[in-house]
A and B are shown apart, each in its own frame.
Chain A
Amino acid sequence: MKGMFPAAGSSLKARLTKDFKRHKWLYLMALPVIAYYAVFQYSPLFGAVIAFQHYTPMKGVWGSDWAGLEHFRTFIGSYYFWRLVRNTILLSLYALLFEFTAPILLALLLHEVRSRTMRTVAQTIAYMPYFVSLIVVCGIVKELTRSGGPLNLVVLNLFGGEGQDLLQQPEMFRGIYVMSEIWQRAGWEAIIYLAALTTIHPHQYEAARIDGASRWRQIRSITLPGLLPTITIMLILRLGYMMDVGYEKILLLYNPVIYETADVISTFVYRKGLLDNDWSFSSAIGLFNSAINLVLLVTANYISRRINGNSLW
């Protein structure tokens, strides 16, 4: 083949040059986007070398002294290291257990409602909190959980205690965090599962009915298996961001009294880097976090591909 079309056999470099000349205008159109990725996505990647330096703005990235792995060692050896890792993983696991399953359950509920009106009303209301800004959600959480607030009294009646502000009690934080996440997102995240449910063919249910299957049985044998591929993909995506707990929400809700359970790696990076300006050290921690994320994503993807053939790449 190559012999028949000499042009195709020419070197890659020559082909790229020729193509570049032919599509000059096209590549000119790409320039803003290329510039954006170079400046705001790639240059921070190179800027991350400050994690291995004693960076000072005066000396810059090129002139600062090298620190090697010192910052990583300091971080791993510090007394708060395990607390941060534990909090990050636990908060993620809680979110995975409850926040990930809530939209699936909600979608099943909405799928089983037979009244169309009820379904539409419930759906519209379930989406609503998603359109409330994070600041307002956290403001509401603070009001509901403060001493004397409605949620606070519910907890007081169920578990006893002195009724002090729930956000001042370390053992309450994870519950509050996960619940507020579910409140804000479950309805919205159910959309994807609801869409997946509409692709299940009605014939399947009909056939099941003729065979005398109860609706419970239909949920177990038709609806849930129909959802499984979507659930898997969402799970992999989720696992890849395990270490990226919602630090914006934590920053708005936490306070030093509950650092014991609420302080996670990303909030620590924020305090060290942006409040204390300890840039090299906090970059190292950020890098550490990203590396774990990447490993988790690749692992999750690999496992899923082996088990049921669903994968991101």
Chain B
Amino acid sequence: MSRSDRTLDLIVYLLLTVLVIITLYPLLYVVFASLSDGDQLMAHTGLMWRPLGFSTLAYERAIANPAIWTGYWNTLRLVAGGLILNLTMTVLGGYVLSRRDALWTKPLMIAIVFTMFINAGIIPFYLIVRELGLMNSLWSLLLPFAVKTFHLIIVRTAFLSLPSELEESAQIDGASHLTLLLRIILPLSMPVIAVLLLYTAADKWNMWFMPSIFIQDRTLYPLQLVMREIIINNVTDQISSGASVGEAQKIGETIKYATIVIATLPVLLVYPFLQKHFVKGALIGAIKG
């Protein structure tokens, strides 16, 4: 092994180690801060390598905040609704668009792909949702996003890749379209369906902008919107109520961090197990449509 090759090895290991630390540190910082004592955290500047003091008070306060739990509940409803709605729509659409013997599917496909490139912008879209009377209901976060063109193309491509003999023999047996779809095509396409479900769930979990313009009723806020109030807009006074102003401010900082942990940990604990499917999804998405 030549010297230049060994230099390369060294550089690679060094760079990767630095990158791993840079990637992890911000997350660790949050965890440390969430477990810190409010006073010490307020006085602290710069890097932190362990919790300053130790206090779980922030977690007690954050958990006692009902907004977090209504947020979780609304997000859960959104995810569940999104999974059912988007799955049904995308699979139905993907099936129709993957039929080779029907004449109308081609123009339909063109009309659908067209929408990926031409975009009217947010305002006309917002006005339609308003006009339909969906404002201030969770439906405003479900119906307008019931199909993602990108997902539809992925599912269609997967259906198209199945051998056409399957459908031919099913049709000879007199199977209807619905039977063919539910009994034959869907069971053979489980990997792509799993990817579709994961991406839909992730979409709904992350939603905050659309809720922020469509939802005014605070009891309907999904988790991310609740989070925005606490960690971006710094509204922690209600959570730390009962304390004096100075104290509330001190606890407020740590409550922010504890809230971040509570709202992020479930996903970070689950993702290593789902990583494989997500990766598959990223790769399917990269293939030319």
Chain A positions within 8 Å of B, measured between CB atoms, are 15-16, 19-20, 23, 25-27, 29-30, 32-34, 36-37, 39-45, 47-48, 50, 106, 109-110, 112-114, 118, 121-122, 124-129, 131-136, 138-140, 142-144, 148-150, 153, 183, 187-188, 191-192, 195, 214-216, 230, 233-234, 240, 248, 251-252, 266, 269-270, 273-274, 279, 282-283, 285-287, 289-290, 293-294, 297, 312
Among A149, A191, A312: residue with most chain B CB under 10 A: A191
| A148 with B119: CB separation less than 8 A | no
In the assembled complex, the CB of A301 is this many whole angstroms from the nearest CB of chain B, namely: 10
A43 to B129, CA, bound (A): 11
| B12 with A132: CB separation less than 8 A | no
A93 to B90, CA, bound (A): 35
Nearest residue (CB) in A for B132 is A39
Among B9, B112, B120: residue with most chain A CB under 10 A: B120
A42 to B110, CA, bound (A): 13
| B126 with A274: CB separation less than 8 A | yes
Given A128-B268, A136-B263, A283-B121, list of 9 further CB < 8 A pairs? A16-B104, A29-B92, A32-B93, A40-B144, A112-B12, A127-B275, A140-B26, A230-B286, A282-B123
Kindly count the residue-residue contacts between A and B in the assembled complex, taking CB atoms under 8 Å apart: 247
Cβ of B231 < 8 Å from any Cβ of A? Answer: yes
With a cutoff of 8 Å between Cβ atoms, the chain B residues found around residue A37 in the complex are 111-112, 115, 147
| A286 with B102: CB separation less than 8 A | no
A273 to B132, CA, bound (A): 18
| B120 with A118: CB separation less than 8 A | no
- Number of residues in B with C-beta < 8 Å to the partner? 87
| A19 with B102: CB separation less than 8 A | yes
Q: Which of B9, B46, B117, B121 contacts A287 (CB 8 A)?
A: B121
| A23 with B99: CB separation less than 8 A | yes
With a cutoff of 8 Å between Cβ atoms, the chain A residues found around residue B177 in the complex are 25-26, 29
| A136 with B231: CB separation less than 8 A | yes
| B268 with A132: CB separation less than 8 A | yes
Among B89, B96, B119, B260: residue with most chain A CB under 10 A: B119
Cβ of B184 < 8 Å from any Cβ of A? Answer: no
Chain A interface helix/strand/loop/mixed: helix
| A118 with B126: CB separation less than 8 A | no
Nearest residue (CB) in A for B45 is A148
| B260 with A33: CB separation less than 8 A | no
In the assembled complex, the CB of A257 is this many whole angstroms from the nearest CB of chain B, namely: 16
Question: Can you offer 8 A-B residue contacts whose CB atoms are under 8 A?
Answer: A25-B177, A44-B120, A113-B13, A122-B19, A133-B264, A142-B232, A290-B118, A294-B118
Q: Which of B46, B181, B224 contacts A133 (CB 8 A)?
A: B224
Cβ of B128 < 8 Å from any Cβ of A? Answer: yes
| A215 with B5: CB separation less than 8 A | yes
Chain B positions within 8 Å of A, measured between CB atoms, are 2, 4-5, 8-9, 12-13, 15-16, 19-20, 22-24, 26-27, 29-30, 33, 44-48, 88-89, 92-93, 95-96, 99, 101-104, 108, 111-112, 115, 117-128, 132, 143-144, 146-147, 152, 176-178, 181, 205-206, 208-209, 213, 224, 227-228, 231-232, 256-257, 260, 263-264, 267-268, 271-272, 275, 278-279, 282-283, 286, 288
| A214 with B2: CB separation less than 8 A | yes
In the assembled complex, the CB of A30 is this many whole angstroms from the nearest CB of chain B, namely: 4
In the assembled complex, the CB of A18 is this many whole angstroms from the nearest CB of chain B, namely: 9
With a cutoff of 8 Å between Cβ atoms, the chain A residues found around residue B178 in the complex are 25, 29
| B104 with A139: CB separation less than 8 A | no
Q: A40-B143, A112-B12, A113-B12 are in contact. Are A144 and B231 (CB under 8 A)?
A: no
A77 to B121, CA, bound (A): 21
With a cutoff of 8 Å between Cβ atoms, the chain A residues found around residue B92 in the complex are 29-30, 32-33
Q: Which of A44, A114, A252, A273 contacts B128 (CB 8 A)?
A: A44
Q: A37-B115, A122-B20 are in contact. Are A150 and B47 (CB under 8 A)?
A: yes
Nearest residue (CB) in A for B256 is A139
The 5 closest A-B pairs by CB, nearest first: A286-B121, A47-B124, A139-B231, A33-B93, A148-B45
| B283 with A195: CB separation less than 8 A | yes
With a cutoff of 8 Å between Cβ atoms, the chain A residues found around residue B24 in the complex are 125, 128
A293 to B29, CA, bound (A): 39
| A15 with B283: CB separation less than 8 A | no
A215 to B224, CA, bound (A): 46
In the assembled complex, the CB of A189 is this many whole angstroms from the nearest CB of chain B, namely: 8
With a cutoff of 8 Å between Cβ atoms, the chain B residues found around residue A47 in the complex are 120, 124-125, 127-128
With a cutoff of 8 Å between Cβ atoms, the chain A residues found around residue B48 in the complex are 150
With a cutoff of 8 Å between Cβ atoms, the chain A residues found around residue B104 in the complex are 16, 19-20, 23, 27
Q: Which of B44, B96, B132, B271 contacts A127 (CB 8 A)?
A: B271
With a cutoff of 8 Å between Cβ atoms, the chain A residues found around residue B120 in the complex are 44-45, 47-48, 283, 286-287, 290
